[in-house]
Amino acid sequence: MKKWILTAVAAAISLTSYAQWKDKEFVLDQDPLVQKKLEEWSDLKLGFFVHWGPYATESLCESWPVVSEDVDWLTPHKDIKSFREHYFNDLPKKFNPTEFDPEKWAQLAEDMGAKYFVFTTKHHDGFTMWDTKQTDYRITNPEYPYASNKNADITKVLFDAMRAKGMMIGAYISKPDWHHPNYWTPSFDTPGRNVNYKIERHPEWWKKFTDFWLGQVTELMTGYGDIDILWLDGAWATKSNRGQDMRMDEVGEISRKHQPGIMIVDRWIGGKWENYRTPEQHVPSESEDKIYWETNMTVGTSFSYRAEETIWKDGREITHKLIDVVAKGGNFLLNLGASPEGWFNPEGVQYVREMGKWLEANGKAIYATRAIAPFAEANVRYTRSKDGNTVYAIVLQEEGENISQITLPGCLAAKNAVIKDVATGKRIKYSRQGNSTLVSLPQKSGVGNFAIALEISSVEKMAGKNYGKSQAQKEAEKRNL
């Protein structure tokens, strides 16, 4: 079977989604349990994201091969109807990941330094990776080969294994479902991603579909332990687009009833049920420290598994992206696609573990920090402790580079400050020059060379703002201006 061709998907979706994201007003949920959860989530900084389903058996892009749309980034199979039948009917019968070990996945998540986990319990193609009672199109269908395996309820065993490592749990689920006969009814052709009939003419079909949808959400909220994040995808399934009312108020009520304080992410829609935002394959060029957000990004070029993947973001690059995201006030959700056997490309595993080794030594400058102006200057990124007393300056180094001395622009250490190498705790020599600080840097090799994290005990000025003074002193300075 010829593979479906995907060209520039990540770039196309990324630019579109980010533009939509920037256009929507962010509304902070007033539920105190949600606000508490958001602050806890903001401490975590790094999440592990996995896309997995029967599409892995042929190294296909997740779900999108079955769509017929005349867009620049999508090149459908020549005989799309025949291919769609093959995709829906044959791939689940081939999907038998006998090497899947949830504890091994959880160990990888810990090795990479992740503190939360988001899993694709169901993508747009409708294949359900848990023991749903709403459809037979599920991993535990007795007609499919993996159904008899002890780990057949993949979502359950993964969530249990990740919780055992102390991770927050995120359940990704798609709002549209291209397999469901009341989303793509066989009565009509299926030209694109949207519902393929007029809802106003067939309201009973739409009700059957949304009843099914609410049933699946309820299953996840009631049968799979503590869920911290309901991560919704498929932004086009919304009331303003062809009347695709997904009954989001009911979704929210069901979720909060069974999972108090759960964060809900209705991607790019804005409003009440978008508790934080998720720009895709994109790090904002400017700081977004006044809202809650995460960049979700792939280590390779695709969210799904590619047996022949050749383009990777190596350990240095993903570490730099993590640092950049955190300095700008966000979290980083990093994705690997799982293979038909139940593991990952060796290159991807190597690179995320390299990042994890860097975090093991330097995580104090990343975890439980907050953004601080000037955020990013040249190859320096800044973070601060939540109490505001400590500033971290992280110097990004390129391969083969070992910077011996650098000026921290916009950061003036106090006269009595102590500056330390975060990784070793050793004191660093420095001098104050104008509104900046000149520091000598330790020479590092291996993953330590990715970036040098410095801890500054007391800062007098950051980007022109005074720090370390009493409120009375600050008020006095204002009066003298």
The partner residues of 90 in beta bridges, in order of sequence, read none
The model's pLDDT over 243-287, given as tens digits with 9 standing for 90+, comes to 999 999 999 999 999 999 999 999 888 889 999 999 999 999 888
Contact 244, 237 (CB under 8 A): yes
**Is the fold of 5-365 the same as that of 372-480?**
no
Report d(CA 22, CA 279) in Å as an integer. Answer: 9
For the chain, the helix, strand and coil percentages under 3-state DSSP, each to the nearest 5: 30, 20, 45
The model's pLDDT over 198-217, given as tens digits with 9 standing for 90+, comes to 999 999 999 999 999 999 99
Return the domain boundaries, the chain.
5-365, 372-480
H helices of 272-336, where? Answer: 315-327
Contact 282, 14 (CB under 8 A): yes
Sign, Cα dihedral of 271, 275, 276, 278: negative
Q: Which helix (H) or strand (E) holds 456?
A: strand 451-456
SS3 185: coil
pLDDT value, residue 468:
59
Q: Which helix (H) or strand (E) holds 170?
A: strand 168-174
Whole-prediction pTM value? 0.93
pLDDT value, residue 475:
46
Q: What is the 3-state secondary structure (H, E, C) of 381-439?
A: EEEEECCCCCEEEEEECCCCCCCCEEEECCEEECCCCCEEECCCCCECCEEEECCEEEE
pLDDT value, residue 156:
98
Report d(CA 377, CA 390) in Å as an integer. Answer: 18
What one-character DSSP code corresponds to residue 188? S
H helices of 116-228, where? Answer: 154-164, 203-223
Report d(CA 91, CA 98) in Å as an integer. Answer: 15
Please give the angle made by the CA atoms of 260, 238 and 250, to the nearest 5 degrees: 30
The model's pLDDT over 407-451, given as tens digits with 9 standing for 90+, comes to 999 999 999 999 999 999 999 999 999 999 999 999 999 999 999
Q: Count of residues for the chain?
A: 481
Contact 127, 137 (CB under 8 A): yes
pLDDT value, residue 25:
75
Contact 411, 437 (CB under 8 A): yes
Classify domain 5-365 at the CATH class level.
alpha beta
Question: Peptide bond preceding 145: is omega within 30 degrees of 0, i.e. cis?
Answer: no
- Counting as low any pLDDT under 70, the low residues of the chain are 1-24, 468-481
pLDDT value, residue 462:
94
Report d(CA 360, CA 191) in Å as an integer. Answer: 49
Homologous superfamily assigned to 372-480 = Golgi alpha-mannosidase II (2.60.40.1180)
